[in-house]
Chains A and B, each alone.
Chain A
Amino acid sequence: MSIIAVYNIKGGVGKTATSVNLAYLSARQHGKTLLLDMDPQGSASYYFRIRAPKKFGAKKLLKGGRHIEENIKGTDYPGLDMLPADFSYRNIDLALDECKKSHKRLSKVLAPLLEEYDRIILDCPPNLTLLSENIFYAADYILAPVIPTTLSLLSLEQLFAFLDEIGLDRDKVVIFFSMVEKRKKMHTEMMQSLREDNRVLRSVIPYSADIERMGIYRQPVAAALPASAATAAYENLWHEIQELLAI
């Protein structure tokens, strides 16, 4: 039973593709898995062709209990359910602010779901807010996809500084390289230097047209193109995470 948050302050680093594919692989390995789409854009929900129910939104999410359970949807894949995002999530910080113990609300809401699910994967929006703080408290691991560029390095430093500020252990953060282009010299150099100072997973997700096209076929790449290089990369990443979680 574990909660993994896929997070980076920067957008467009492959968070959603990672969440969707890891959730799919987790369920395929007989672990009942729940994917929580926390991003008001709802990209993960879109990939699974799931629309948010009409009467669901940020307030219901924070109420928890049956308000969540009634809105969980089965995906097309056995063992994988998801809680779709709603556009109202864009104002979730306001709603959070009204809660008691506002920085730990999400932990409380997720706790009962761990009885039903072996793994919960959170697809997080790219920002640093009260919601992020909630996510960091709730997650056992913060999985951060990083494109090996200077700006990504900056966003990592911001993440660590924020964790220090709220008094959470930096060890929660697990980094892996995403959207890597081998032929770019800068990517190779950045990866080398980042590996020297941080805990970075061995597996690398390459930049891939197959992953980009997920928006067209609206399935995890591992389901749509099981023999592709992109699928193999996600499988390697998932194996490494499993070792980390010792499952």
Chain B
Amino acid sequence: MVHFGPDTWLLPDSLPVEGLLAALAADFGFDTAPEYEATVVYADTFDWRLYQQGYLLHCHDNCWTLYHEDNSEVTVQQGGPELHAACFARDFPPGRLRELLAPVLSVRCLLPLAAVHLHGRQIRLLNRDEKTVARIVVETQEPVDGERCYRLVRLFGLRGYGNELEAVRGILATAGVTEPVSPLVGFEEGCRAKGRSPLDYSPKFSLELNGGETARDAMARIYQFLLETIIRNMPGVLADYDPEFLHDLRVAIRRTRSGLSLVKRVLPAPVADRFGRVFGRLGALTGPTRDLDVYLLAREDCLGRLPPSLRPGLEDYFAGLSRKRQAEQKKLVRALRAKKNKAVFAAWQRALKRRDRQPADLADLPVRDLAGRIILKRFKRVSRDGRVLDAATPDTEVHRLRIQCKKLRYAMEFFGSLYPKQEMQGLIRHLKKLQDILGSFNDLSVQQEMLRQTLKSLPAGSRRNLDQAAALGGLLQSLFREQQELRIHFTEAFAQFGDQETSALFHELFGKRQEPA
């Protein structure tokens, strides 16, 4: 969350800036900076990564300015790309701004949020030595699509000049500057005009269930939440801004499918069957583009695994993947735009909202009674499969365990709000560690398979192909070795998750004899 200091007020309409300065003139000298004026466009990732870290970024043509809540000053101001479409950290010229943005944005792009017309001036308040003892900024913020115009006074103190700061506060209050306001009011209003508000999207699943509500109502709310995630990510997927839109969309689809297969006899069987197929099809439809995204995101890592002499061959390989992805993305967009899909989401929503003519037999069960049973069942399954995991387990078995873990994780996330938060977080943390190892293992497996396929289809003959084959061979070797190393850690990774203590906690939390919350 962004908090830019407490000392910000609305300037009453009846009080002109000159009136404010006249009130201060008895105690302070002034040094007024030239007036500034610009229409700035605020930018952030779709999931508010900058805002979450306390940053605020805006651009004015190609001049970018970054602020941080810890500091009233500009953190960095620098030239950069024009924000016509999606901008990535890599689109910025090398320098401090890029260094600050890259780790926060990661693979996500910046999108334009609100446009706000700003104008104002900074006034330094001086003591008898003409030393600055405080600064005030008088600023008008006018969201371009908004209805209101805000006149703000902001006050910034200086270390060691607390008495002066207090004096200025007093003078402002006497002059009628008494209504505190967020310094981001123009930004927030501008976002609202565009149908957004800070932190209104997060890929995390968070839904407060009520233990007493029926399983049918609870599941409908869960599916509804996931459907909203799907719908909200759709424009980003179609426009292909950054790979995370598709990723988040696919996770929501997978969660929905897991829900449909884990939680049986809550929705009427024909409904569950039909939409199980629908979301299965959507999952398959979006798979190829995502797979290629994953390979392409690993590009730097892969290049780093090879000696420089082999790298050009790998560049060819990635260029090929990139072309393939373009083609797949086109296909995906066409498929998602099809009327059939739009109708499907509307039908799913109707199915969730209407009363079932023939309710399933567990529909009216309190969700609390159902949740524990489902989580415990998934846990037992993971324990059973995980216990036999060792360095020699075949890849396919590892993959199966990975899927089991995912199902357990989703079940825990769906119903997490029914259980004590701290215990839940602890268990999920343990599970996540195991999942991370299995996930990395699987990625390495899939990457190798992809390389083998490419090698098989590579025609012999040209020097170029020979270079590419050598690069792929080198990469295969490196991936294989890392995968072997991961295997060594299987036993201990599972031991951490499947120990007595964790198992006991699972049984205690989700077992039959639990007290109603």
Contact = CB atoms under 8 A, between A and B. Distances in A.
A72 B159 contact: yes
Contacts of A74: 158-161
Contacts, number: 29
Interface string A58-76: 0000000000000111101
Interface string B491-512: 0000000000000000000000
Q: On chain B, which size bracket covers the interface?
A: 10 to 19
A93 B96 CA distance: 44
**9 smallest A-B Cβ distances: which pairs?**
A73-B160, A49-B131, A74-B158, A74-B159, A49-B129, A76-B132, A78-B73, A81-B159, A72-B160
B179 interface: no
A48 interface: yes
Query: Which one of B73, B130, B132, B161 has the highest number of Cβ atoms from chain A below 10 Å of its Cβ?
Result: B132
B125 to A, nearest CB: 11
Given A73-B159, A73-B160, 10 more contacts: A48-B131, A49-B129, A49-B131, A50-B129, A50-B131, A50-B160, A72-B159, A73-B161, A74-B159, A76-B131
A30 B96 contact: yes
Residue of B129, B159, B160, B161 ringed by the most chain A CB atoms within 10 A? B160
A53 B160 CA distance: 9
A213 interface: no
B168 to A, nearest CB: 15
Interface centre among A73, A81, A218 (most CB of B within 10 A): A73
Nearest to A76: B132
Interface in B106-129: 124, 129
A232 to B, nearest CB: 22
Contacts of B129: 49-51
Nearest to A53: B160
Nearest to B133: A74
Interface string B141-175: 00000000000000000111100000000000000
A174 B315 CA distance: 49
B71 to A, nearest CB: 8
Contacts of B131: 48-50, 76
Nearest to A70: B160
Contact of B160 (A30, A71, A76, A218): A71
Contacts of A51: 129
Interface string A28-66: 001000000000000000001111010000000000000
A76 B159 contact: no
B76 to A, nearest CB: 8
Nearest to A78: B73
Contacts of B73: 78-79
Given A48-B131, A78-B73, A73 B158 contact: yes
Max chain A CB contacts within 10 Å: which of B130, B132, B158, B159?
A: B159
Nearest to B157: A74
Contacts of A73: 158-161
Contacts of A49: 129-131
Interface string B39-77: 000000000000000000000000000000000010000
A215 to B, nearest CB: 13
**B interface SS class:** loop
A129 B4 CA distance: 47
Nearest to B135: A76
A74 B73 CA distance: 13
A71 B124 CA distance: 21
B161 A76 contact: no
B78 to A, nearest CB: 12
B133 to A, nearest CB: 9
A114 B228 CA distance: 50
10 contacts: A30-B96, A48-B131, A50-B160, A53-B160, A71-B160, A73-B158, A73-B159, A74-B159, A78-B73, A81-B159
Interface centre among B73, B129, B131, B132 (most CB of A within 10 A): B131
Contacts of A72: 159-160
A72 B73 CA distance: 19
A79 B76 CA distance: 13
A76 B126 CA distance: 10
Contacts of A81: 159-160
Nearest to B75: A30
A74 B130 CA distance: 14
A218 B129 CA distance: 10
B124 A76 contact: yes
Nearest to B96: A30
Contacts of B160: 50, 53, 71-74, 81
A136 to B, nearest CB: 28
A30 B68 CA distance: 14
Interface in B312-365: none
A49 B96 CA distance: 32
A148 to B, nearest CB: 36
A30 B95 CA distance: 13
Contacts of A48: 131
A83 to B, nearest CB: 9
Interface string A134-150: 00000000000000000
Nearest to B124: A76
Contacts of B130: 49, 218
Nearest to A48: B131
A50 B132 CA distance: 9
A74 B124 CA distance: 13
A46 to B, nearest CB: 9
A125 to B, nearest CB: 22
Interface string A79-106: 1010000000000000000000000000
Contacts of B158: 73-74
Nearest to A77: B132
Q: For A48, A74, A218, which residue has the most chain B Cβ atoms within 10 angstroms?
A: A74
B210 to A, nearest CB: 47
A72 B159 CA distance: 7
Nearest to A73: B160
Contacts of A53: 160
A73 B158 CA distance: 7
Interface in A144-184: none
A155 B161 CA distance: 40
Interface in A6-37: 30
Contacts of A76: 124, 131-132
Interface in A213-240: 218
A79 B159 CA distance: 11
Contacts of A71: 160
B176 to A, nearest CB: 28
